[in-house]
A and B are shown apart, each in its own frame.
Chain A
């Protein structure tokens, strides 16, 4: 079955702390993975995406994610978070002939100044 799981539902950090949000997937086809972010009161926005090639993907605002095929993982990282990173983060898998996103349940990140 196709699925995406995110391990942490709520994460609280202080500014300048390092961030790692877990994402694992289950899928037998070609793997295309995304991280989306939803800031308070705003719509979903793409942070970064992996289609092929270098498994370390860099996105906007200093975020990066590493695709580890052997672990079925695509964890999101940022070395030093800011208060403005407070948001909900969703990992997603592209399936169905590249027309359907399967999302994880999301991780709410709160960054305290």
Chain B
């Protein structure tokens, strides 16, 4: 497809369970970002990948959160021992990254709405 896609669109889980959220970036985009948007707030940065490596994971709230991008394309955000406070919309974005700053435009996916009961 032409845009960033995320699956599932909705995920309901119980407290303490493990969840995986998937992001398919725009083809050819080397940079990938995860954000979390809680109700009534703007998106909050979680982690940034350049290729396969996590170049900046300073936004991950704690060690229950982990993300991978093993082949430099699809990324999975993993949350262990989910808590009710993890309920939010998880957004993925991708961008082409080059020398010219204007290429850093981030294109967002539709998000995964996670509800932890």
- Name the residue on B nearest A96 (C-beta): B56
Assembled-state Cα–Cα distance A43/B48 (Å): 19
The answer for the CA separation of A98 and B48 in the assembled complex, in Å, is 11
Residues B42 and A105 in contact, CB atoms below 8 Å apart: yes
Give, as a whole number of angstroms, the nearest-CB distance from A43 to chain B: 5
- Is residue B62 contacting chain A, with contact meaning CB distance below 8 A? no
Q: Of the 9-residue stretches B16-24, B67-75, B77-85, B97-105, which lies at the interface with chain A?
A: B97-105
A12: interface (CB < 8 Å): no
Does the CB pair A105–B41 fall under 8 Å? yes
Mask, A74-113, CB within 8 Å of B = 1, is 0000000000000000101010111111111110000000
Contact between B104 and A94 (Cβ–Cβ < 8 Å)? yes
Chain B residues lying within 8 Å of A92, measured Cβ to Cβ, are 42
Most chain A beta-carbon neighbours within 10 Å: one of B33, B45, B97: B45
* Residues in B whose Cβ lies below 8 Å from that of A45: 108
Contact A51 B42 (CB under 8 A): no
Residue count of chain A within 8 Å CB distance of chain B: 24
Q: Please, how many angstroms separate the alpha-carbon atoms of A46 and B109 in the complex?
A: 12
A17 CB-CB contact with B under 8 Å: no
Residues of A within 8 A of B50 (CB): 99
Chain A residues whose CB sits within 8 angstroms of the CB of B91 once the complex forms: 43-44
CB contact under 8 A between A44 and B108, given known A99-B56, A103-B43, A106-B41: yes
- Give the Cβ gap from B66 to chain A, nearest Cβ, in Å: 18
Check A99 against B43 for contact (C-beta < 8 Å): no
A103 adjacent to B42 (CB under 8 Å) = yes
* In the complex, per-residue mask of B29-58: 1 if CB is within 8 Å of any chain A CB, else 0: 001010100001111110010100001101
Chain B residues within 8 Å of A101, by CB: 33, 35, 43, 45, 106
9 contacts between A and B (CB under 8 A): A43-B109, A51-B101, A99-B56, A99-B104, A101-B43, A103-B35, A103-B44, A106-B40, A106-B41
